[in-house]
Structure 1
Amino acid sequence: MLNQIRPAIVMIVLLTIITGIAYPFAMTGIAQGLFPSQANGSLVKRPDGTVIGATLIGQNFTSDKYFHGRLSATSDTDPNDPTKTIAAPYNAANSAGSNLGPTSQALADRVKGDVDALAAQGITHPPADLVTSSASGLDPDISPANAETQIARVAAARNLPPDQVRQAVSQATSGRLLGLIGEPRVNVLQLNMLLDGLKAS
């Protein structure tokens, strides 16, 4: 019996050291060496080193002078009643979609209300990502079409020429990966930082 237990214990200890300690440390070291920014969370910093966000997680911009991200359906615990939840856009601790499907009347009513509100502002054919939330609720990017619908509002709020704001949108736009994968996208945080730089200058 001891002849069977000893090899089993040795294998457990050996595999724990290899897969639980050596391998994670090796992967962490390789990631830090080759991709330090991504390995540390793709953090975005001001020139003074202050961290203001991450390129992979959206933020809840609400001011007219900023571009707004895609709708977020994340929630949090109601501070007044722990048995209930409240809307908490871009709550990074609770990444989730709304789980409302195409047959949901609540979703249809909400989208119709948003489309009607946009129509009152002169936006008659809004892009899909302007009125729908993403699966994660933390999407950091919007489509170039979504950004285009916001240019007039942001330019007026910042007292900037629309063409100057449009140029900032172009600078913050990333194309398809390898020219084939995904869709063109605009990182909202990077775009708003560019705009703050324009205002400062």
Structure 2
Amino acid sequence: MPSVALDSAIRHLDDARTTPELVRATQAICALEDPAAAPTLIKVLGYNNPAVAAVATQGLIALGRAIVPTLLMSLDAQNYGARAWVVRVIAALRDPRGLELLDRALQADIAPSVRRAATRGLAELDLVGSTAPADLSRCYLALFRAARDDEWVVRYAAAYGLERRLSLTPPPEPLADRGCALLQELSEECRENVKVVRLRAQLALQRLSIG
């Protein structure tokens, strides 16, 4: 049940018409740090206003992992901008319950910005507990797909993601070997035609003391 303060803040948001007004109203909602504000902040992500969405994103992240179930049910199939922001929130929270959503977004989403955000999220997931081995394998397989994505921004994120995961949670040897091989491919001019991706993969290999 929303509090009186949250109800008032939401009314101010509904009355806002300009970007500065929307930003101030969203900041006021975030300042309450009320988990009941999550649906409203998620709605704000769909306004297609980056300044307002950035504020709402930080507010959602501040609410913590308790809002993950709400986030997982909130993806807007018609609004790729809102999907990208939601994926960023889930990625920032590093909650392993987001694995399926991030994997699905990477496989099926048509928007490169969403696939890029999902790839970075996979790199940061806190994969611990009884399901960790299976989850870790699924995470690596998703990053392998990202390394072969048609969009260079996703491949760039995959280079970062593979470095991050290999340095944090090395998988069984076959997966580790495949991850290193894909980084090597991304670092080679004959296989990767975007220089910034090659440079990022080369940096990953250097940091991992490979190649």
Q: TM-score, normalised by structure 1?
A: 0.25
Give 1 or 2: higher strand fraction: 1
Q: Which structure has the larger Rg over C-alpha atoms?
A: 1
Structure of higher RCO (CA pairs closer than 8 Å, 6+ residues apart):
1
Q: TM-score, normalised by structure 2?
A: 0.24
Give 1 or 2: higher helix fraction: 2
